[in-house]
Amino acid sequence: MPGPDALVQMYAGMVRVRLFEERVRELFAGGRIPGFLHTSVGQEATAVGAAAALRGDDYVLSTHRGHGHLVAKGGSLRALMAELYGKATGVCHGKGGTMHIADVSVGYLGANGVLAAGCVLAPGVGLSIKHRNSGQVVLTFFGDGAANRGPFHEGVNLAALWRLPVVFLCENNRWASTTAHALSAAGGSIAARAAAYGIPGESIDGNDVLAVHDAVSRAAGRARRGDGPSLIEAHTIRWVGHFEGDAQAYRPRDEAAEGRRLDPIARLGRILEARGLLDGPHADRIRMQVAAEIDDAVDYAENSPLPAPEDALTDLFAHYPWRDR
């Protein structure tokens, strides 16, 4: 169990992700943010529990629903918001956008529009860690839909075979866009697939930030000791559409309400209150501080320039000595 300060930080971390995503939804609806947007409202516990269990120099690979993962890993709200606006001051200079954010300075190696891409990138990162003997760990997030793609199996197999320091963390929110997990995953359990690769697999309540923190701490500990990868399936609920504007006709009407009843923020709040670590005014102060940070990030993004047309092709390609000679 994390100490009192860490618990309050986890609470504040989830509030930061929630308010950020809610603000982004408003800005998108108001036409301020362009493109196509997936948010993680309701899924804050997986992002924050996982990040809190990792070291600052550990790596994270993310998904198309990745804002919360970066916020939890310590990314700058200003640079993230500016990126969503497509501005030159964005974390990828406005050229990544919501689905291709990366911030190597905090170990966030990238969101990805290709489902399960993180599952095959993670063994590569793990191999680099192993060769450098740096004691780091890489955690890759992916969805239940991604777990039905080949790269999931390829990545888990290789990481298990070479005992790489990888944590595979599936955010099972019951839906791959409009496709129900229950109708598309043979056997039902994603965690159970770990047995086929001879690694630990665990199914946890992904709305419980402490359960996420505990499972990721154990998996990261194993990875750091050289004992190889683990697979965690965190059951969670997205409160909103798959993308902004999704009419959600495929979904039981009461599912979002179920998510709200299981609200990970309120749940940790009750634990903190019972332990005398949080009360109403303190929770209000946290919300106000976070809201002010987000206001500042929005002002920054609004007042930043768009990338210059002549820079259209900069920042797009890695520099390889053999090519740039």
Binding site for ligand TPP (CB under 6 A): 64-65, 113-115, 143-146, 173, 175-177, 242
State the nearest-atom distance from the C-beta of 135 to ligand TPP, in Å.
30
Query: At its nearest, how many Å lie between ligand TPP and the CB of residue 62?
Result: 11
- Could you tell me the smallest distance in angstroms from the CB atom of residue 50 to ligand TPP? 15
CB 81 within 8 A of CB 117: no
> 261, exposed or middle or buried, with CB in 10 Å at 0-12, 13-18, 19+?
exposed
What's the CA gap between 126 and 9, in Å, rounded?
28
Q: Which is nearer to ligand TPP, 22 or 227 (CB)?
A: 22
CA pair distance 280, 284, nearest whole angstrom: 6
The residue (of 65 and 193) whose beta carbon lies closer to ligand TPP is 65
Report the residue number, 105 or 177, with the smaller CB distance to ligand TPP: 177
Nearer to ligand TPP, 46 or 136 (CB): 46
- Count of CA atoms in the C-beta half-sphere (13 A) of 201: 15
Which pairing describes strands 179-180 and 175-176: parallel, antiparallel, or unpaired? Answer: antiparallel
By beta carbon distance, the residue nearest ligand TPP is 143
Q: Which of 67, 48, 61, 42 is nearest to 6 (CA)?
A: 48
Q: Which ranges of 162-237 would DSSP assign to H, the alpha helix?
A: 181-184, 209-224
Residue 85 and residue 93 in contact, taking contact as beta carbons nearer than 8 Å: no
Phi first, then psi: what are they for 168, rounded to 5°? -95, 115
The nearest distance, CB 183 to ligand TPP, in angstroms, is 13
Query: Maximum distance among all alpha carbons in the chain?
Result: 63
Q: Which is nearer to ligand TPP, 78 or 242 (CB)?
A: 242
Q: Which is nearer to ligand TPP, 114 or 291 (CB)?
A: 114
Query: Smallest distance from the beta carbon of 225 to ligand TPP, in angstroms?
Result: 30
